[in-house]
Amino acid sequence: MATTLLQSSNEAHVSKVCEEYSLTPAEVKTLHSRCSSAKATAYCPYSRFRVGATILTDDGGYIDGANVENASYPVGTCAERVAFGKAVTEGHKKFKAVAVATDITPPASPCGMCRQFIREFCELDTPVLMFDKDGAFIVMKLSQLLPLSFGPEALPPPSSLPATA
Ligand SMILES: [Zn+2]
């Protein structure tokens, strides 16, 4: 199921995803529509590759982001990191799902840097929904996108570290 191409217009596909990832059909629909709409807010004059991202918070809220490029190319930021930056600075720390949308098909997946960024704030079983331009999508857990990942729990607590001079 993990890499199966699903259709957001197919009720059976959506309900299977809902069952597997503890989401409701309304949440999947809203994630799809919001991340698709968020593409319109992208600032991508250089690549013209629009990406929208939406995060579902554990209290049922939605936070959107889009890619923001820069004349100094590496300075640009992906949609996922924009969305998580907004969410975290607005006080959200727990999330139920992540969704991304692009204008291509098949669906694009979050880049490596974003997978690591998401890892900081999401459980390994958090679903990442990846939508293509036509509403077809793939769902994978974060642990599948980023196997053997390095996360916050791997670091010793700061209080256990020796004081530095
Ligand atoms: Zn990225």
Q: Where are the beta strands (DSSP E) in 6-135?
A: 6-7, 51-57, 62-66, 95-102, 127-131
Average pLDDT, rounded, for the chain: 96
- For residue 165, what pLDDT band results from cuts at 50, 70 and 90? low
**Residue 123 designated active-site:** no
CATH of domain 11-146: 3.40.140.10
In this predicted structure, what is the pLDDT of residue 68? 98
Q: Mean pLDDT across the stretch 89-105?
A: 97
CA of 79 to the centre of ligand 1 (A): 7
Annotated active-site residue in 20, 80, 120, 123: 80
Pairing of strands 127-131, 51-57: unpaired
Per-residue model confidence as pLDDT tens digits over 39-70: 999 999 999 999 999 999 999 999 999 999 99
Per-residue model confidence as pLDDT tens digits over 74-90: 999 999 999 999 999 99
The percent of residues above 70 in pLDDT, for the chain, comes to 98
- For residue 136, what pLDDT band results from cuts at 50, 70 and 90? very high
In this predicted structure, what is the pLDDT of residue 1? 45
- Domain segments of the chain: what residues? 11-146
Q: Is 78 annotated as a binding residue?
A: yes
